[in-house]
Every structure is written in structure tokens, then in C-alpha cells.
Structure 1
Amino acid sequence: MQALEIKRSYVSGVRAEFKLEEDQYEDWVMLAAFSGRFAFAMDDREEADFDEAAYGELVLCPPGMRLKRRVVEPLSFLFIEFASEQEWPSGKLAIRDLQRLESTYRYLRIACAQSEEGEGTAYIRHFVGDLLAVLSLEQASSADRARKTKQDPVMGRVLAYLERHALEYGWNLGQLSNELGIGASQLTRRFRQAYGQSPVEYLTSIRLQKARSLLVETNDTLEHIAEQCGYQNAFYFSRMFKSKCKINPSDYRKKHSF
């Protein structure tokens, strides 16, 4: 990855509007929500189509493009302007590894605070580079997953089914295998061969990724979060969360909330 030059960096507090609802930049811009939600458009037309972005999603705007934005829900955000000779994808880009994202954001906040005192720019460059590297790796992984899905279309159907129904309570591997006419053990073996983990492991990763997001973004009770993530109750959810994340949900919330 080519070196980045950080031109400007800013971490906001919670606010109800942007100071500038549109601007045009000489270099690349990264805009990301720590909390809340914003709408954006990268278009010179007056009636541009707006999309929305929230926690876990980065907006990358290329040099010379007009960036329009407005707050949808009270927002705290990261703004980075950086120069790079490398071409990056533009628009809204989702980060799947939210646990990695949370720690990177935490260090970026510290580095941006130090940069106001004349220090921290090297750290900002490092962590922005980290975000871009994660994006690149995840996009490559998605392309590899698409290739494997093409090789075994039935497992592609299983993957799509899990992504649609992962947050529903009562999901059953046996029911899915019956619908496909495949034994549960064969389904698990083929899925692991295609995607490197079992269907249950993949489903659990989706649920816990959603749970981590809700713990950081909302004040919902653990019982409510459990319901939203497909778990029967807060007790079982907490046990699963601690087993996989090595920390209980309440401590995770305290550690990662901004």
C-alpha cells in the first residue's frame, strides 16, 4: 500500500448539523459516523440522490468531487482528508469486522486529539491506512466468497439464507438441511469447505457483530439486544457473547462507547 499524506483530521462531538452541508476537496475524504446517522451525495446535480451512512460504514469521496451531507440523527463523526496516488473505491463502504473497527476508532480519537497539540499525525496516518487495508482485504475476501459460491451454488443459497435469517430466533440447521435435501453433517462439511467455518459459526458471527454494534450505538437493555440478535434471553446471549468475545456485554459497552 502506498504512503498516505494526512492533510486534515477532525473528530466531532455530537451535533445536529454539519457546519458546511457541501464542499469540494482537492484530495480524498473519509467521513465516518461514530454515532448517529448522516445522509450524503457525491454529485454536482442540484437534485442529487442521497444515501445514508451509520456506524460501521465509511464514505470515501475522491478528489475534486462535490460532497453533500446532512445529519439524519444526532451525529458524532470522523473526518479525514488525505492525499494518495493509489485509487480507492468511492461511495459508502461497509466494514464487516466491527471489533477491529471499534479499536481503530478509539485510537484515531486519541491520535486526532494529539494532533491538535502538534503531535499524532503519524498515528493518524497509520490508523487511516489500517482502515483502508481492512477495506481492501474485505473486498478481496468478498470476491473470493463469490468465486466459491459459484463453485458450489447450493452453499451459496445456504449463505444467503443465513444472512437473511441470522437474527431470527428459532433458526434450525436440521430444518434448513431438510429443505435442501442434504443431511446436516454433509451440509456442515460442504459449507466449511466453501467458507472456512460451519453454518452455526457463521450465524453466530453475524449475531455477535450486530450485538457489538447495538451495544456501542444504543442504550438498549441486554434483554432487548438479545431479542434483536436472535437469542432467547439476555442470560444466553451474555454467555455466548463472553464465550466468543472474551468479555461480557456490559463491560464491552463501557469499554467501547464514545
Structure 2
Amino acid sequence: MAVHDVTIKLISHVFWQRKVAFMLDEDEYPCWTIFAVEDGRFLYRVGEQKGEAKFGDFVICPPHTVFQRKTLEPLSFHFLQFVWLSEPSLGDEAVWKGKLTINDIERLSSNYRYLRQLPGWDEDSTLHKQHMVNDLLRLVKMERDQKEDPSTEVDLLMEKARRYMTENAYGSLSLLDLAVSLGLTPVQFTRKFRKAFGQTPSEFLIEMRLTRARHLLEGSTLTLDAIAEKCGFENGFYLSRVFTQKTGIAPSIYRSRHRV
């Protein structure tokens, strides 16, 4: 099943702990919303889809869609709201609606732990939260692809590489040195990483850096060279070239359209 690139921009995140009951039995939201369960159970209905959600499940509700819910036991969950950086097509939208289940409990628990440990909305916390949510959605896609291709397995070595890249993305990170540290050639590293995550290490790293660059363009008056330094790019010229290539518009135009 071909699904569009699962990349989002996080708008809000609240962690609710042992909530006995929802304030409202149903609600509608102006943007995409996720209820990601860490503990407890609740009943849900999103459009025609209904059922029970527990740990390992999260329920996605599209914008302006009635979301009915009722706790079955005290509920701890992440309430997340986001927008797609590229909107799902009409066919794909149905894939991202209702309950989605993640079987890789270790990776899921790790992402939830990071989300809990980043309670604020400073720049770094926001960007890391966003990557955790992106990873959850990619994990859903990866596990769905694995069902279609049972030979695909979770690569723990590549998971280690992904964590290292996430933690060091904005510094002078060398993918060659990382490959060597993993006991792989650059070609092997690229092939294994793409198989595990659906993108090359370079694409993953650039995506993280451009996400931070977009955030700084929107919310600061820093020069392009200063933004490049904070995002791990060599200089403003190189950032501008990569930014324009990946987004289709120059950083200056993006800033003028998206200033907060």
C-alpha cells in the first residue's frame, strides 16, 4: 500500500495522567489529533470506526470530525495535535483515521518516555517532540509494510544509529564516522537504514535540520548564516540551496510567508 510521506508539524502536546473521565463525551478539533495511550483503556468512535484503545494503540481523528470517547479505567495518554507538511490524498487519509496499533513496544515506550521528559515548548523540546511523533507515524507505516513483506525485520543496529543521529543532528555529525562505528561501509549503512526507516541517513539528517531551520525562520530574526550554524549546515549559502531544493521556495520567501 503506497502511503504518502509521514512527516508532520506538531502544534500541541499535553500528557494526561490517570484521567478518570473525559470532560466531554465527544468533541471536534480544527486539526489532526492523536490520543496515544500509555496506560488504561477507553472506548472511541471516529466517524464510522469504533472500538477500544489501550497501550500500544493510538487513535487519530481528522479535522472537523466528531470524536466520541469514554474511559473504561483511569487513562494516561498523550494528547497531540498536528498538521501534515503534505496533506494525505483522499485514498491515504482513510489509512490515518481511527485506531492504529504499534507492536514494537520497546520503541514505542522509548518515544513516550522522551515525550514525557520534554514538557516545555522551548525550541529544542518542540523539535524533539516533533521527531518523536514523526517516528510513531513512521513506525505505523513500517509495521504495515512488514505485514505486506514478512521478510522485513526491525534492525536494532539502525535503531541505535537513528537515536544517535537524533541526539547529534545539529552538530558536526559525520555519517562516514557513524557508519564505521557501526562496523559498516557507507553503502551498507545507507542500504540498511533505508530498509529500516524508508529513507537514507542523509535524508533523515537533512529532514531534522530543515525542520529546525523552518522553526527559526518562522520565529526568529537570525541571519541565514546564524540559522545554518544552529542547524548543522556549513553556511547560509548551503542551507539556502538545500532548503530551496527540498521545499521548492527560498528561505527568505518562506520566512516572509510564515513569520509568527
> Scaled by the length of structure 1, what TM-score is found?
0.51
- Code of the aligned partner of 1:93: L
Q: Does 1:85 align with 2:52?
A: no
**Among 182, 185, 200, the residue aligned to 1:183:** 185
Structure 1 residue 194: Cα displacement:
1.4
Do the aligned partners of residues 96 and 204 (structure 1) sit closer, same or farther apart at CA in structure 2, a change above 3 Å counting? farther
Q: How does 1:9-28 map to 2 (within 5 A)?
A: 25=24, 27-28=26-27
Do the aligned partners of residues 59 and 133 (structure 1) sit closer, same or farther apart at CA in structure 2, a change above 3 Å counting? closer
Q: Does 1:141 align with 2:138?
A: yes
Aligned residue in 2 for 1:153? 156
Aligned residue in 2 for 1:241? 243
Structure 1 residue 220: Cα displacement:
2.3
What is the total number of aligned residue pairs between the two structures?
167
Q: Deviations over 1:47-91 (max 9, x none)?
A: xxxxxxxxxx9797x9xxxxxxxxxxxxxxxxx997423689953
Structure 1 residue 95: Cα displacement:
4.1
Tell me the SS of whatever aligns to 2:68.
coil
Retained in 1: the 8 A contact 2:26–2:69?
A: no
Retained in 2: the 8 A contact 1:166–1:206?
A: yes
Structure 1 residue 140: Cα displacement:
4.3
CA distance in 2, matches of 1:100, 1:134: 20
Structure 1 residue 191: Cα displacement:
0.8
Aligned residue in 2 for 1:202? 204
Do the aligned partners of residues 192 and 81 (structure 1) sit closer, same or farther apart at CA in structure 2, a change above 3 Å counting? closer
CA distance in 2, matches of 1:207, 1:218: 16
Aligned residue in 1 for 2:108? none
**Identity percentage of aligned residues:** 29
Do the aligned partners of residues 185 and 178 (structure 1) sit closer, same or farther apart at CA in structure 2, a change above 3 Å counting? same
Do the aligned partners of residues 175 and 184 (structure 1) sit closer, same or farther apart at CA in structure 2, a change above 3 Å counting? same
CA distance in 2, matches of 1:135, 1:100: 21
Q: How does 1:157-168 map to 2 (within 5 A)?
A: 157-168=160-171
- Code of the aligned partner of 1:175: D
CA distance in 2, matches of 1:162, 1:213: 19
Tell me the SS of whatever aligns to 2:194.
helix
Structure 2 stretches of 5 or more lacking a match? Answer: 1-22, 36-41, 43-62, 88-92, 101-132, 147-151
Q: How does 1:1-258 map to 2 (within 5 A)?
A: 25=24, 27-28=26-27, 83-85=66-68, 91-93=78-80, 95=82, 97=84, 99-100=85-86, 139-145=136-142, 151-168=154-171, 170-258=172-260
CA distance in 2, matches of 1:188, 1:145: 17
Retained in 2: the 8 A contact 1:227–1:233?
A: yes
CA distance in 2, matches of 1:241, 1:135: 35
Structure 1 stretches of 5 or more lacking a match? Answer: 1-23, 33-56, 63-79, 102-128
Do the aligned partners of residues 167 and 92 (structure 1) sit closer, same or farther apart at CA in structure 2, a change above 3 Å counting? farther
CA distance in 2, matches of 1:197, 1:81: 32
Q: Is the radius of gyration larger for structure 1 or structure 2?
A: 1
Do the aligned partners of residues 173 and 30 (structure 1) sit closer, same or farther apart at CA in structure 2, a change above 3 Å counting? same
Question: Structure 1 residue runs of 4+, over 6 Å off?
Answer: 57-60, 86-89, 134-137, 146-150
Retained in 1: the 8 A contact 2:243–2:249?
A: yes
Q: CA RMSD in A?
A: 4.3
Structure 1 residue 181: Cα displacement:
1.1
- Code of the aligned partner of 1:156: E
Retained in 1: the 8 A contact 2:25–2:68?
A: no
